[in-house]
Structure formats: C-alpha cells, structure tokens
Amino acid sequence: MDFEWNKSKAEINLKKHGVSFQEAATVFGDNLALTFNDPDHSIDEHRLLTFGVTRTGKYVVVSHTELDTMIRIISARQMTKQEKKIYEEG
C-alpha cells in the first residue's frame, strides 16, 4: 500500500490537529480499523473515513481517497468521544 498527500496540507493538518500524515498512514495497519463512505465532503471524488489506532496509540480519523493501490490522505484528526465509541464497538 502506497500513500501520498499534499505537503502544505500535511503541515497545516499537523499544526491544527496534532496528527502528522505519516502517523495517520499507520492507521491502515490497524486490523480493527473501520472504513466508511464520506459522500458529504466531496462532489468530485469518492472519499472515505477510516477510524483506527496509530502505531503510537492515538485514536484517529483519516479522510482519504483510494486509487488502485494508492491512498491519498486528505486530513487526519483525533477521534471524538462518539467516534471512539463507534470504533470500540466495531
């Protein structure tokens, strides 16, 4: 699995949410990660939200698109309490 992202967007995301895209990419190694369609946030492309735990133990939500074997990370942030409950209930 390969990852890509916009470098300036990644820097803004880290400052705003405290989650680097490098760390966010580790969520895709979480065997318990949950992925949902996210039609409300894009007209032009098929967006997804993945809830999971990073290698450092952060519970995060990653917004992304998938093209063949490439995952493009759009944003990443820590889960809300409600999102964490959804993740934990699987």
pLDDT for position 41: 67
| pTM for the structure as a whole | 0.92
The CA distance from 27 to 40, in Å, is: 22
Q: Which domain holds residue 9?
A: 2-89
Q: What is the DSSP string of 23-43?
A: HHHGGGG-TT-EEEE-GGG-S
**Structure confidence by residue, pLDDT tens digits, 5-15:** 999 999 999 99
Residue ranges in the chain whose pLDDT is less than 50:
none
Domain count, the chain: 1
pLDDT for position 44: 78
pLDDT for position 38: 85
